[in-house]
Amino acid sequence: MSGPQSVDRALALLDAVADAPRPLSAKALARRVECLLSTVYHLLGPLTARGYLIRGPEGYAPGPRVPFLHLSFQRHLGAGTAVAALLPHDASVPRPPPMSRPARVPSTS
């Protein structure tokens, strides 16, 4: 692992949830990332609170913040509308409004 161990473990949890075909219980996540169940619960709290994961009756699944990371990734790559149209997009996820330029303030001099 590189970086702080808790960050690596939190990212490992996100990867495990993303790779799973269905929601995972905390116990299943602890087995997949090979760490203590108490550690998994300690990390799931902030990941859930910040919207990166959601907790449902069957376990943890990707949360509502994940699609916005994808949109930010596209924006930072400079993906124009032609490129963005080729990238996968879930129609149920709202697209952010197009970025507009700030209005010019008329000069008083």
List, for residues 40-75, the tens digit of each pLDDT value: 999 999 999 999 999 999 999 999 999 888 888 777
Packing angle of the helix pair 26-33, 37-49 (nearest 10 deg):
110
Q: What are phi and psi of 24, to 5 degrees?
A: -120, 140
Residue 24: helix, strand or coil by DSSP? strand
Q: Which pTM was predicted?
A: 0.67
Q: Residue 11: how many CB atoms within 10 A of its CB? A: 15
Q: 41-45, 83-87, 97-101: which has the minimum mean pLDDT?
A: 97-101
